[in-house]
Amino acid sequence: MKVTAIIDDSLIKEAMEYANASTITEALKVALNEYIALKKLKDLGNVIKMSPLKFNATAEDIRNTNRE
């Protein structure tokens, strides 16, 4: 997709440095992928907060299982 956007030069330069990108397109792809991954991780954290994982085994049970 072709996009036209007005973005501060210093922001683009910084994004390119952090992304180790040689082009603006590459830097934006890295930045967007990282942003989306962080948002998905945050959403997953919220899901787990609402319905926490439950462990029915004790540490001793797990140790014994691992030794079998």
Q: What is the DSSP string of 1-68?
A: --------HHHHHHHHHHHT-SSHHHHHHHHHHHHHHHHHHHHHHHHHHHS-----S-HHHHHHHHH-
Q: How many residues does the chain have?
A: 68
- When pLDDT is averaged across residues 42-57 and rounded to a whole number, the result is 89
pLDDT at residue 62, rounded to an integer: 87
60 vs 11, higher pLDDT: 11
pTM tops 0.95, yes or no: no
Q: Quickly state the pLDDT bin for 43 (edges 50, 70, 90).
A: very high
pLDDT at residue 57, rounded to an integer: 87
Instruction: Give me the chain's average pLDDT, please.
Output: 93
Instruction: Find the largest Cα–Cα distance for the chain.
Output: 61
pLDDT at residue 54, rounded to an integer: 83
